[in-house]
Amino acid sequence: MTETPWGRFWAEYRESPLAVVALAVVVAIVTLALAAPWIAPQDPYDIANLSLADARRPPGFVGSEGYTHWLGTDAQGRDLLSAILYGLRISIEMGLAAGTFALAIGASLGLLAAYRGGWVAAIVMRVVDLQLSFPAILLALVLSALLGQGKAQLVTALVAAQYAYFARTAFGAASAERRKDYIEAAAATPLSGRRIVFRHLLPNTLPPLVVVATVQVANAIALEATLSFLGLGLPVTEPSLGMLIANGFQYMMSGRTWISVYPGIALIVLIVAINLVGDQVRDQFNPRLKR
């Protein structure tokens, strides 16, 4: 078991208790979010379930439906625990979708630039670098304002803001590999370009891309929450964590802190856990830190 690459990777990963806990937290949160329709006390989208008599009640309140709202209720009388579970679902969905598309587009561009070199690389990487020097949040902000609200629009905005990180990473790793003698030799033989790209360049760019992808999924979730908090992300019919927090913000001054705080805690735990996992994976892929 320990002799397979995965086994070795896991054995090294296990050496950091913090990273193991973080991974467990990520798995637990994703499982809870996936199981939301079955485990949540209430379907927060079903307006028939909501009663204004239950609105803004503190944690532990027993509502008109007869069960306990462990985390309280929000301004519409929604059970906060249910809203958070469903909100996590949306946040994770957005993060994964944005991360996957950004990875596919960015890595393709980076590989293309590294493989073709010359003016293709010059133009692609010039645009990528220009965009990297520009804050992602501003780009996402303007794009989501221009595109309007909706899941597809939001993912588009997130991908546009994030693909450049993947492109830069893939280009860096692939062009370092490209310069090695064996690729030069392979390019001189009648081997197809596709073979060079997929058999040699792609596998070598995967480790750094995995690291960037982990961090960027967390960033996408944070960015989505920020946009939703500012009222620019998802429509009201898709209440992600950011929107739950924004909705609770106005009640915070009057001491009803739970409406913002609990969704916030769920969001933070998820993001920090993903980042910790990413940190560990990066350290393991980084040969410079090894003794």
Contact residues for other proteins (CB under 8 A)?
Answer: 130, 133-135, 137-138, 141-142, 145-147, 218, 222-223, 225-226, 229-232, 242, 245, 249, 252-253, 255, 257, 260-261, 264, 267-268, 271-272, 274-276, 279, 291
Beta carbon of residue 207, minimum distance to other proteins (angstroms, whole number): 20
Strand partners, 62: 68
Contact 54, 42 (CB under 8 A): no
**Toward other proteins, which CB reaches closer, 42 or 144?**
144
Beta carbon of residue 271, minimum distance to other proteins (angstroms, whole number): 5
Beta carbon of residue 23, minimum distance to other proteins (angstroms, whole number): 15
**Toward other proteins, which CB reaches closer, 114 or 158?**
158
**Toward other proteins, which CB reaches closer, 50 or 213?**
213
Distances (CA, A) of 241 to 22, 150, 178, 187, 280: 20, 15, 43, 50, 26
**Toward other proteins, which CB reaches closer, 166 or 229?**
229
C-alpha span between 113 and 106 (Å, rounded):
11
Beta carbon of residue 41, minimum distance to other proteins (angstroms, whole number): 25
Beta carbon of residue 272, minimum distance to other proteins (angstroms, whole number): 5
C-alpha span between 37 and 35 (Å, rounded):
6
Beta carbon of residue 267, minimum distance to other proteins (angstroms, whole number): 7
CA dihedral 73, 78, 82, 85 (to 10 degrees): -90
**Toward other proteins, which CB reaches closer, 111 or 157?**
157
| Alpha helix (H) residue ranges in 40-135 | 80-116, 118-132
3-state secondary structure of 60: coil
According to DSSP, residue 62 is labeled E
Helix (H) or strand (E) holding 137: helix 136-147
**Toward other proteins, which CB reaches closer, 185 or 265?**
265
